[in-house]
Amino acid sequence: MAQKPAIPKGTRDFSPSEMSRRNYIFNTIREVFSLFGFKCIETPSMENLSTLMGKYGEEGDKLLFKILNSGDWVSALNDVDLESHSLGALTSKVSEKGLRYDLTVPFARFVVQHRNEIQFPFKRYQIQPVWRADRPQKGRYREFYQCDADVVGSDSLYNEVELLQMIDMVFSRLRINIVIKLNNRKVLAGIAEILGVPDQIVDITVAIDKIDKIGMEGVVAELKEKNIPAEAIEKLKPILAIDGTIAERLTTLRELLANSEIGCKGLDELEFIVNQTNRLGLTAKLELDVSLARGLNYYTGAIIEVKAADVAIGSISGGGRYDNLTGVFGMPGVSGVGISFGADRIYDVLNALNLYPDATEEGTEVLFLNLGDAEATCSLKIIKQLRDAGVSAEIYPDGAKMKKQMTYANDTKVRYVAIVGSSEMETRSVTVKDMSTGDQEGVSFDNVVNYFTQK
Amino acid sequence: MAQKPAIPKGTRDFSPSEMSRRNYIFNTIREVFSLFGFKCIETPSMENLSTLMGKYGEEGDKLLFKILNSGDWVSALNDVDLESHSLGALTSKVSEKGLRYDLTVPFARFVVQHRNEIQFPFKRYQIQPVWRADRPQKGRYREFYQCDADVVGSDSLYNEVELLQMIDMVFSRLRINIVIKLNNRKVLAGIAEILGVPDQIVDITVAIDKIDKIGMEGVVAELKEKNIPAEAIEKLKPILAIDGTIAERLTTLRELLANSEIGCKGLDELEFIVNQTNRLGLTAKLELDVSLARGLNYYTGAIIEVKAADVAIGSISGGGRYDNLTGVFGMPGVSGVGISFGADRIYDVLNALNLYPDATEEGTEVLFLNLGDAEATCSLKIIKQLRDAGVSAEIYPDGAKMKKQMTYANDTKVRYVAIVGSSEMETRSVTVKDMSTGDQEGVSFDNVVNYFTQK
């Protein structure tokens, strides 16, 4: 009995037309990364579990796909009372490798491992799949691509400016209208300081990060629950209610955070980045949002988040500065800043708004119909010349009915159909049909290559 | 105590210069696939183990990387006496997914699963990594890329002709001299028939496939061991000793296999493919090799193998026709033919012969030195114009010493260094240094974009 084929839930096959659209996204991102001087690296799909575990929190550890040790993994359990051990302890006995969960931790591992071969500042980009054993749902997959660009080994804020320009160029090219939200971890630290609860910065930012979802009331309730004093909560309200242009917000925050050194530092950084970026001109709308936190424990300076202006789909890009990513691998004091593009969400946005250029899914330039062996033999010579000249061309391999061959031409979206029948062989000319207009014309054998290369 | 970072054995990190070289190979292959009208698809890294198991022989099953079921995998073993079950039975309790082992089985699964959306003949290519838990050794990795192109749903021998042309174009473009060896499974069946042992075709081909390694004597010994009658072995010797041009070999084989219908059919196919291919012209050397078998149980017609002429490294590409790949997934009678390029071996060949074009590892086009905030601010405006015009450009982010910045320029292989210092700001011109010649010249701000776009 034959198997009914299927793929694991949360994973996807990509057809030729889907791949054309995806490659349009990847190529756009890759080109922009290169224009900005970022270099491509790749790391293995598998990392040692010791590299991955503990880097994404307890929940993240559970979401790692773990690879069963090769060979006789059972013998590691032979003298073990399964019930007296934790799941984690037993897992570590039968698995020592996992699939990468993101591109950031493998990159930190890469930097430390190759520190002596790397020229700092190191501007790298990486476009590879990652895997998470999350519950699959609409827009969330167990295998998906991340497109990351980071600069490590440079404290300069010009990096932040360039990353914002890069975000702007990627989405301009993709014709997606975006809003870029900006914050700074030092401003958040300043706020916690001003409220008199510097040690509770995590509780505060986790709560205010949700203001879009749960509103001011919800945030206040959560802060009370975390035992933030009522007085501090009162002080926080005007900060969250800040309004106006970026310049106006900065002015208000300067007043509110005047007594916090770290807060002022954060505002200086924000101001530099905003001014430089505006001076260079940005297509995107830039916003300052003090409630923006994103993986707080990780970022130490700028925090960046990008949303599509015309589709409600969550963030489609984001990033920030981190000062100690490589510390856990024994290389402290290396500052980095980076952004990540969510290719799968960008794909959903482009699909929703139908923003692909017309040529994205175009097929082969010329399909030669197959009208018999003599004709095919003749056509193959011309096809070879076309390919040598860089024109994609193919022959319908079988001597099938004309209708079937034309259906193939239509379905695979070829631009031109070329016919070499007996009369064409006599006159040494090809009948070329433009599939978009239906127009036909004769082109002499000697002129076919010119005809297509000069289109 | 910080971890000392490492990656799993048999896997690799790829640095920017390695990625440049690898992408040169992938892009060359991808361009040729497109020129021939093949379309890109991708399949998930993970497949259900039911899709993968039993497709690569018993040894292959062991070499599959299996993924531990998420969540509480231990409970599936709770009431099981570990010692009374086979490793395979226990593995199937704790793992239901595996990493893909090649691109062929997932492709067959794809064709069957999407049969109603696919336009046949379906010409697909796929460039993705595969994983095998093989013992790592020189040139053999646990994660490596395959680059496959297949046509399914067409019996036409023009497909074989086109695949040979495609192989020829890929290696011509890569400037690797190759020998293409050709055989046909039907010829092997004909030989077994003529020898009077049609049922022992597998034993015979497995043995004669090794003739390059163990010589005629070794083959004879192995055939004896497999109980092939002495008379049959005697008949085989002249077949293996066949010499001369392809035409001469075909003539000899026509005589030897005259009484085998299937053998003659195989020779007809070979002759058609060779004649058509030669007529179109091939840069590669084409050879007919009746000892060539490759995964015999799989191929039913043409068998193709490619070796580098100037480096001893095994086959760097290969393929053939298979008539029932999708049968195991419930879709019988679909003929296919395909080839696979071994990107990692090709990479080793190019490295060994140093055949990369000079531009392969070129870095950013222009690096602007950072001589202070005013100068950087001025430079960023020019850099934006350059990028908008498609010229890759970057600024050294930090105000570091000139020597350090020039070292970065050298090590990252930038083509030009641009200097905007105080005197350049006064004269509104950039000093441009060509890093390959050392020549310097001044270019006015207004002319910088033209200067680089017209290079």
DSSP per residue, B119-182: -SSEEEEEEEEEE--PPPBTTB-SEEEEEEEEEES---THHHHHHHHHHHHHHHHTT--EEEEE
Which residues in chain A are closer than 8 Å to B7, comparing Cβ atoms?
A: 43-44, 46-48, 51, 109, 113
* Nearest-angstrom CA–CA distance, B242 and B244: 7
Q: Residue B16 and residue A276: Cβ atoms within 8 Å?
A: no
Residue-wise pLDDT tens digits, A266-314: 999 999 999 999 999 999 999 999 999 886 578 999 999 999 999 988 8
Percent of chain A with pLDDT over 70: 99
The answer to whether the beta carbons of residues A451 and A391 sit under 8 Å apart is: no
> How far is the first Cα of chain A from the last one, in angstroms, to the nearest whole number?
53
Among A248-257, A382-391, B282-291, B321-330, the least confident range: B321-330
State the ipTM, two decimals: 0.94
- B2, B22, B42 ranked by CB distance to A328: nearest: B2
The answer to whether the beta carbons of residues A53 and A96 sit under 8 Å apart is: no
Q: Residue A23 and residue B3: Cβ atoms within 8 Å?
A: no
Residue-wise pLDDT tens digits, B368-392: 999 999 999 999 999 999 999 999 9
Q: Would the pLDDT of A1 be above 50?
A: no
pLDDT band at A2 (very low <50, low <70, confident <90, very high): low
Query: What length is written for chain A?
Result: 455
Mean pLDDT, rounded, of chain B: 94
Higher pLDDT, A312 or B263: B263
For A431, the token pair is: 């009948």
Residues 6+ apart with CB under 8 A from A302: A157, A160, A182, A183, A184, A185, A269, A270, A273, A320, A321, A337
In the three-class reduction of DSSP (H, G, I as helix; E, B as strand; rest coil), residue A335 is classed as coil
Residue-wise pLDDT tens digits, B26-81: 999 999 999 999 999 999 999 999 999 998 888 899 999 999 999 999 999 988 88
- B5, B281, B327 ranked by CB distance to A109: nearest: B5
For A179, the token pair is: 């809003």
Mean pLDDT, rounded, of chain A: 94
Query: Which of A34, A338, A319 has the alpha carbon at shortest distance from B394?
Result: A34
Count chain A–chain B contacts defined by CB atoms under 8 A. 307
Q: Would the pLDDT of A156 be above 70?
A: yes
- A8, A94, A280 ranked by CB distance to B48: nearest: A8
Q: Residue B16 and residue A62: Cβ atoms within 8 Å?
A: no
* Chain B nearest C-alpha distance from A180 (Å): 19
Q: Is any Cβ of chain B less than 8 angstroms from the Cβ of A178?
A: no
Return the CA Rg of chain B. 29
**Cα angle: A61, vertex A67, A71; to 5 degrees:** 145
- A23, A143, A394 ranked by CB distance to B45: nearest: A143
A window 267-286, beta carbon within 8 A of B: 276, 279-281
pLDDT of residue B14: 97
DSSP state of A140: B
pLDDT band at A79 (very low <50, low <70, confident <90, very high): confident
Q: Is any Cβ of chain A less than 8 angstroms from the Cβ of B97?
A: yes
Query: What length is written for chain B?
Result: 455
Mutation target vs A (from B18, B34, B45; most A CBs, 10 A cutoff): B45
Among A186-190, B163-167, B325-329, B403-407, the least confident range: B325-329
pLDDT of residue A408: 96
Q: Is any Cβ of chain B less than 8 angstroms from the Cβ of A241?
A: no
Q: Would the pLDDT of B155 be above 70?
A: yes
Q: Residue B398 and residue A121: Cβ atoms within 8 Å?
A: yes
Residue-wise pLDDT tens digits, A99-140: 999 999 999 999 999 999 999 999 999 999 999 999 988 888
Q: Residue B380 and residue A327: Cβ atoms within 8 Å?
A: no
* Nearest-angstrom CA–CA distance, B312 and B181: 15
pLDDT band at A142 (very low <50, low <70, confident <90, very high): very high
Residues 6+ apart with CB under 8 A from B87: A72, A73, A74
Which residues in chain B are closer than 8 Å to A111, comparing Cβ atoms?
A: none
- The amino acid that residue B63 corresponds to is L
The distance from CA A330 to its chain's CA centroid, rounded to whole angstroms, is 28
**3-state DSSP: chain B helix, strand, coil percent, rounded to 5?**
45, 20, 35
Residues 6+ apart with CB under 8 A from A415: A362, A363, A364, A365, A366, A434, A435, A436
Q: Is any Cβ of chain A less than 8 angstroms from the Cβ of B76?
A: no
Residues 6+ apart with CB under 8 A from A187: A253, A257, A263, A266, A267, A270, A290
pLDDT of residue B2: 56
* Nearest-angstrom CA–CA distance, B207 and A51: 46
Which residues in chain B are closer than 8 Å to A370, comparing Cβ atoms?
A: 156, 158
pLDDT of residue A4: 77
Q: Is any Cβ of chain B less than 8 angstroms from the Cβ of A372?
A: no
* Nearest-angstrom CA–CA distance, B18 and B238: 48
Residues 6+ apart with CB under 8 A from A324: A300, A332, A333, A334
Residues 6+ apart with CB under 8 A from B320: B185, B294, B298, B299, B301, B302, B303, B304, B337, B338
Residue-wise pLDDT tens digits, B189-202: 999 999 999 999 88
Which residues in chain A are closer than 8 Å to B397, comparing Cβ atoms?
A: 121, 151, 154, 156, 158-159, 162
pLDDT of residue A3: 59
Mutation target vs B (from A32, A53, A90, A119; most B CBs, 10 A cutoff): A119
* Nearest-angstrom CA–CA distance, A112 and A331: 6
Q: Would the pLDDT of B439 be above 80?
A: yes
pLDDT band at B1 (very low <50, low <70, confident <90, very high): very low
Which residues in chain B are closer than 8 Å to A107, comparing Cβ atoms?
A: none
**Rounded mean pLDDT, A344-351:** 94
